[in-house]
Amino acid sequence: MIALDLSRLLSRAGRGTPTGIDRVELAYAEHLIANGAPACFTALRGSGGLGLLQRRVAEQFVAAIGAAWRGGRDPEQQNRQARRIARQARIGLLAGPS
């Protein structure tokens, strides 16, 4: 099983142009999701440790931030959606088991 830390992508939601590191992390996440690889997605908790993200939320977030960074008809709406899902993911980390 592969564990991919999405902390950086979550912190970059709604921040405009991605860096090279952002693009590489996004490519890894999209590849794992598209191929149905046995993977889980994690992110830093407020307490400093890693927490497990719900797979569905991680997939939604990766799709949303990818769409926002690639542009489209309404980039501001896509950025808002990526920020909303990132917020949900961080709340899930706070509410999850420690």
Single pTM value for the model? 0.90
What pLDDT shows up at residue 39?
Answer: 93
Name the DSSP letter for residue 47.
T
What pLDDT shows up at residue 57?
Answer: 95
User: How far separated are the first and last CA of the chain, in Å rounded?
Assistant: 21
User: Are the CB atoms for 50 and 5 separated by under 8 Å?
Assistant: yes
Would you write out the chain's pLDDT as a tens digit for each of its 98 residues?
999 999 999 999 988 789 999 999 999 999 999 998 899 999 998 878 899 999 999 999 999 999 999 987 787 888 999 999 999 999 988 876 65
Name the DSSP letter for residue 36.
T
Amino acid letter, residue 48:
G
| Alpha carbons within 13 A on the beta-carbon side of 17 | 2
